[in-house]
């Protein structure tokens, strides 16, 4: 299995992500969520349940977590530069996440975006979907603690 590392982050560098995808980037179709929040950020999400995600936050005070919709997931936004980094959901001490495909460094060519509408799912269906398709190997590192 080929593991390629992909890097990204917010604009100012406060939040960095390091991702291990298990397939070629072109085989992932970023999911453009149609909720008002994600639409206004132009966000679309990539994740790989077999891959891994490391999120490094330099200054916790400058990272904002925002809840919207049913409030089950947290959206990580850099307060310093305003970039939406990704969505997180924790359950039973386990952290799941999907990353905004637009925050990758350099040329990462994902597949075509697909439109998704999680707001049409029930709360239980949403959680089940996140646990199926989001990263489940997620590490969150704070440099300032
Ligand atoms: Zn930033």
For residues 46 and 42, give the distance between their C-alpha atoms in angstroms, rounded to a whole number: 13
pLDDT tens profile 16-64: 999 999 999 999 999 999 999 999 999 999 999 999 999 999 988 877 7
* pLDDT (mean) for 73-86: 94
Burial class (CB in 10 A: 0-12, 13-18, 19+), 19: buried
CB atoms within 5 A of ion ligand 1 belong to 10, 12, 14, 78, 80-81
pLDDT tens profile 81-130: 999 999 999 988 899 999 999 999 988 899 999 999 988 999 999 999 99
Cα 81 to middle of ligand 1, angstroms: 4
Domains of the chain: 4-142 (2.170.150.70)
For residues 20 and 52, give the distance between their C-alpha atoms in angstroms, rounded to a whole number: 5
Cα 57 to middle of ligand 1, angstroms: 10
Cα 75 to middle of ligand 1, angstroms: 14
Predicted local confidence at residue 59, as pLDDT: 85
pTM of the model: 0.91
For residues 144 and 54, give the distance between their C-alpha atoms in angstroms, rounded to a whole number: 16
């Amino acid at each position: 299995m080929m593991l390629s590392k992909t890097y990204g982050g917010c604009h100012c560098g406060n939040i960095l992500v390091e991702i291990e995808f298990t397939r070629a980037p072109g085989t992932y179709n970023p999911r453009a969520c149609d909720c008002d929040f994600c639409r206004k950020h132009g966000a679309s999400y990539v994740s790989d349940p077999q891959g891994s995600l490391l999120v490094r936050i330099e200054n916790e005070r400058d990272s904002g977590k925002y809840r919207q919709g049913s409030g089950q997931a947290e959206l990580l936004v850099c307060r310093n530069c305003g970039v939406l980094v990704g969505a997180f959901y924790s359950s039973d001490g386990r952290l799941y996440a999907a990353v905004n495909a637009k925050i990758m460094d350099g040329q990462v060519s994902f597949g075509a975006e697909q439109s998704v509408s999680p707001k049409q799912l029930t709360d239980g269906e949403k959680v089940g979907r996140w646990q199926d398709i989001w990263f489940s190997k997620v590490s969150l590192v704070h440099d300032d603690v």
